[in-house]
Structure 1
Amino acid sequence: MVNIRFYGGVNEIGGNKIIIGDENNSLLFDFGMSFSIAHKYFSEFLQPRKCNGILDFVEFGLLPNINGLYRKDYLEHVGLTYPERPAVDAVFITHAHADHSSFIHHLREDIPVYATKASKAILEALDVTSGAGFTEFIWLKEAFSLMQKKDGTGYKRLQGSAAKKERNIKILEGKKIGIGDFEIEAVPVNHSLPGAVAYIIHTPDGDIVYTGDFRFHGYGGELTRKFVNKASDIQPKALLCEGTRIKEFLDKSEEDVKREVSWVISKTKGLVIVDFPVRDIDRMNTFYEAAKNNDRKLVINLRQAYLLKLLEETDVNAPRLDDENIRVYIPRKNWGTITCKDRYPEYIIEQDYENWEKEFLHHKNAVTCDDIKNSMHEYVFRCDFFELKNLIDIKPKEGSAYIRSVCEPFDEEMEIDLKKVENWLDHFNLLPYYQIHASGHAPGDEIMSTITNINPDMVFPIHTEHPYLFYKMLHHRTSVVLPELEKKYNI
């Protein structure tokens, strides 16, 4: 009998970890971090220890205690057994947000991970550009092992290419994937980063639909409508539906955002400074178009530049790095030599930057703080919380503006960070600022119409803090099951 178990995403937004299986096969859908648990126990400078393998994560319920799921080096280092057989046959990722994919780092490398080409590109960008932490999404770097020194006099820690193993990432290409008695079908949806999909799982006991995260108002909103139509045609046994914004019934579209930011840019004489999610390509396109229509260049950071380079190998609609309306900001780092080219040779300047950053230092569209300072009216400059220090170098002049295009704070830590942002803006005379944002999630009325159109036998509300609202609004027409962690649900 086919069953579903939830190991995350229950009574919270994100942290999705769902196993669907029978007596012969098991499939894991998403393997994300629970932000609510992570923020409860950890912070920027209080992090789980790598030396303790998976144990710090398991201690607080961030990782489920499932035998056969985790990488060999982490288990054996803390005296745990590494089973010969994996706990699941495959992992299917809906999209590359951390609350759906972050714990790929901990997976054993012989478990295949299915993702879209765009999701793989995002995960690769994170893998390469993240300075530290648990971000081995594409390449697993074997830890806690030794290698013999070349001169044979002893041993040293295994590192570099010798420690690197490529994970078994399989690209979703629009075909059904057969695993045992299951057939898995990935269906594109629109979300606030490229490459998002929902899944239709065909099983001997009936079809299961898992929405992942979705919205209708982005530039790819038609993808979500096609998914709903496809899911409604099969009349599934079970629908696993996200409900991030189940309580909200007003929505702002990406077109609304474009119109509003275009207006702000058009009336601003100085520098336009903006903050939008680093991997939200729809939002990048919005600011790109708004900047271009107002004869300005959009300035992105190095991590975004690296991601765009990878996305050029996909079908994602994103600006190209060589576009005349794109600029790549090269910040002052370490010695700050990038603005002292008359004093330092090129090889010294390059030492201020990571290997992956160096290729952009000589890009034809590279700019520095001096370029922006001297021509503020020509640029829309992306600057997030961690990049505010760049304003010290640029010194925005009177008549500049700041657009905040990210979500409102929803916890105490985010409120503290926003207050710090406001202090910086006040210091540089950028108050009041403009809050212009549209969510990556569908509002409550669209969630309800989605469920009504798909018409499943039973609904499991996930990725929501308000699952009871699903029951309140739907129990008269379909069975609403409020999931509990690790409980088995037969379909």
Structure 2
Amino acid sequence: MESKDKPIITFHSGILTIGGTVIEVAYKDAHIFFDFGTEFRPELNLPDDNLSTLLENRLVPELKDLYDPRLGYQYQGADEQAYQHTAVFLSHAHLDHSRMINYLDPAVPLYTLKETKAILNTLNRTGDFLIPSPFEEVGFTREMIGLEPHDVIEVGDLSVEIVPVDHDAYGASALLIRTPDQLITYTGDLRLHGHNAEDTLAFCEQAKASDLLMMEGVSISFPEREGTEEDKVLSEEDLIQRFVQLVLANPHRQITFNGYPANVKRFAKIIEQSPRTVVLEANMAALLLEIFDIAVPYYYLENALVIDQLDATLEVAYDTLLVDQERYVWQVVDRFENLQEGSLYIHSDAQPLGDFDPQYAVFLELLAQKNITFVRLACTGHAFPDDLAKIISLIQPKLLVPIHTLHPEKLENPYGERILPDRGSSITL
């Protein structure tokens, strides 16, 4: 058995894959976990999201004393020591980091930045964002403790500081985990080309000379794509300017768009700079109001849940949007068959996300049948390969562990050692 006086890091999942990161840091009588999502494998076409189904298909890991005991789960691993102190931390709201939080034992505290808490509560308002708890009402989201930037949580002898970083999910964070002798750093997902790049740079300064750096490497996962993107969007600001240009270039045409809802900063910038009045679906409008206190025009689809917080005077009738060609650019989330023939649709990191999702081809065919021009306007939430190297150079870790990537071997550490762990393996510092 490993010494309890040394930190033990176990990589339960999120190794040699993108998403589903669940990592444990244990020290003395305490252990923490991050994150608590699932791998995204739509091609499996699973019959349900029951915990047993997810475990059988390795979309979530076997974990002792962490899942809701009401689920009847029996831990299948080897006997492990008991801990007096347990906590889970979420780095951000993307589903591959948060989707199974309703399966977490209600007795285990769950910490995240307050913006991520607000985003998850709002997006799960109707119970179809997160995996629902079978023991609660529709729309239930388990309790989260919303933190301010740089709040420090003590879990036994572990000290955890939550640090903002820039990502395409607003409210994203990294973790600085301290023992009396060592600094262990988890980047979460981050980049240097977003609206809040200064947050990532400030984090790198705090994390400098980490004893262990667990670093995401999504952008190095697809070497076959390198050099093939002739017109790549280089920053969030670049994306906004291209969006504006598309609107200006189509003055007498229905224009719709959609994006990933957790990227509320992008929505806010589109609203701020669009030449036309932006109208959002009501749930997205509620999220902008919650996060930024921005009241924007909105619409409801038929039979949608009325949101009391929204200003009724800002509602735009859905039928008005369907016939408009000049005044509005509006978010479309469903009923794409109702859009005008020959209209313009801007797909800005919305679902379905890409070719790996079987629904993507179906979606494109639907638009093609109506002669709708499809423009994909995407900007990655992950640091470009050169920026990953820059982040490592700023931190200069003693030990680097690449995670959240298909090709961890492509991430190098000129400043110390590198370990490429297997799923389920542990290292002791």
Segments of 5+ residues of structure 2 without an aligned counterpart are 1-5
Greater than 3 Å deviation, 4+ residue runs: 40-43, 85-88, 247-251, 358-362, 407-413
SS in structure 2 of the partner of residue 278 of structure 1: coil
What is the aligned counterpart of 2:20 among 15, 18, 33?
15
1:409–1:199 distance in 2 versus 1, CA, 3 Å: same
**Is this contact kept in 2: 1:25–1:88, CA < 8 A?**
yes
One-letter amino acid of the counterpart of residue 421, structure 1: F
State the TM-score, normalizing by the size of structure 2: 0.87
Pair 1:403-2:346 in alignment: yes
Offset of 1:58 from its aligned partner?
2.1
**What are the equivalent positions in structure 2 for 1:178-193 lying under 5 Å apart?**
178-193=154-169
1:168–1:287 distance in 2 versus 1, CA, 3 Å: closer
Separation of aligned partners in 1, 2:322 and 2:59: 45
Offset of 1:428 from its aligned partner?
2.8
Offset of 1:119 from its aligned partner?
0.6
1:260: which partner in 2?
242
Offset of 1:231 from its aligned partner?
1.3
Pair 1:276-2:259 in alignment: yes
1:302–1:404 distance in 2 versus 1, CA, 3 Å: same
One-letter amino acid of the counterpart of residue 419, structure 1: A
**Is this contact kept in 2: 1:110–1:168, CA < 8 A?**
no
Task: Using the aligned pairs only, state the percent identity.
Answer: 27
Separation of aligned partners in 2, 1:376 and 1:443: 37
1:331: which partner in 2?
301
Offset of 1:132 from its aligned partner?
8.0
Separation of aligned partners in 2, 1:259 and 1:229: 31
What is the aligned counterpart of 1:353 among 304, 321, 330?
304
1:89–1:109 distance in 2 versus 1, CA, 3 Å: same
Offset of 1:255 from its aligned partner?
1.1
1:208: which partner in 2?
184
Pair 1:486-2:427 in alignment: no
Separation of aligned partners in 2, 1:215 and 1:388: 32
Offset of 1:92 from its aligned partner?
1.0
Which range moved further: 165-174 or 366-375?
Answer: 165-174
1:406–1:486 distance in 2 versus 1, CA, 3 Å: same
1:197–1:68 distance in 2 versus 1, CA, 3 Å: same
One-letter amino acid of the counterpart of residue 299, structure 1: V
Offset of 1:280 from its aligned partner?
1.2
1:306–1:445 distance in 2 versus 1, CA, 3 Å: same
**Is this contact kept in 2: 1:407–1:439, CA < 8 A?**
no
What is the aligned counterpart of 1:388 among 332, 336, 345?
336
Segments of 5+ residues of structure 1 without an aligned counterpart are 144-158, 312-317, 333-351
1:285: which partner in 2?
268
**Is this contact kept in 1: 2:233–2:378, CA < 8 A?**
no
Which whole-Å deviations, capped at 9, do the CAs of 1:401-440 have from their partners, x for residues lacking one? 22222279886552x4333333333333323x32222111
Aligned residues: 411
Separation of aligned partners in 1, 2:147 and 2:164: 13
**Is this contact kept in 1: 2:15–2:405, CA < 8 A?**
yes
**What are the equivalent positions in structure 2 for 1:125-204 lying under 5 Å apart?**
125-131=122-128, 134-136=131-133, 142=135, 167=143, 169-204=145-180
One-letter amino acid of the counterpart of residue 347, structure 2: R
Offset of 1:160 from its aligned partner?
8.7
What is the aligned counterpart of 1:110 among 107, 112, 116?
107
1:42: which partner in 2?
45
**Is this contact kept in 1: 2:21–2:96, CA < 8 A?**
yes
Separation of aligned partners in 2, 1:420 and 1:447: 34
Pair 1:237-2:202 in alignment: no
**Is this contact kept in 1: 2:20–2:38, CA < 8 A?**
yes
Offset of 1:192 from its aligned partner?
0.6
**What are the equivalent positions in structure 2 for 1:431-442 lying under 5 Å apart?**
431=373, 433-442=374-383
1:209–1:119 distance in 2 versus 1, CA, 3 Å: same
One-letter amino acid of the counterpart of residue 266, structure 1: L
Separation of aligned partners in 2, 1:251 and 1:19: 35
1:390–1:301 distance in 2 versus 1, CA, 3 Å: farther
One-letter amino acid of the counterpart of residue 171, structure 2: G
1:299: which partner in 2?
279
Separation of aligned partners in 2, 1:176 and 1:79: 31
1:62: which partner in 2?
59
1:411–1:270 distance in 2 versus 1, CA, 3 Å: closer
What is the aligned counterpart of 2:35 among 23, 26, 30?
30
One-letter amino acid of the counterpart of residue 344, structure 2: A
SS in structure 2 of the partner of residue 265 of structure 1: helix
Separation of aligned partners in 1, 2:75 and 2:86: 25
One-letter amino acid of the counterpart of residue 260, structure 1: R
Offset of 1:373 from its aligned partner?
3.7
Higher share in helix: 1
**Is this contact kept in 1: 2:183–2:210, CA < 8 A?**
yes
1:389–1:278 distance in 2 versus 1, CA, 3 Å: farther
Offset of 1:41 from its aligned partner?
3.2
Which range moved further: 244-253 or 197-206?
Answer: 244-253
**Is this contact kept in 2: 1:69–1:87, CA < 8 A?**
no
One-letter amino acid of the counterpart of residue 49, structure 2: P
SS in structure 2 of the partner of residue 109 of structure 1: coil
Offset of 1:79 from its aligned partner?
12
Separation of aligned partners in 2, 1:451 and 1:362: 46
Separation of aligned partners in 2, 1:41 and 1:419: 16
One-letter amino acid of the counterpart of residue 72, structure 1: P
1:412–1:216 distance in 2 versus 1, CA, 3 Å: closer
SS in structure 2 of the partner of residue 310 of structure 1: helix
1:153: which partner in 2?
none
Separation of aligned partners in 2, 1:118 and 1:198: 14
What is the aligned counterpart of 1:310 among 287, 290, 299?
290
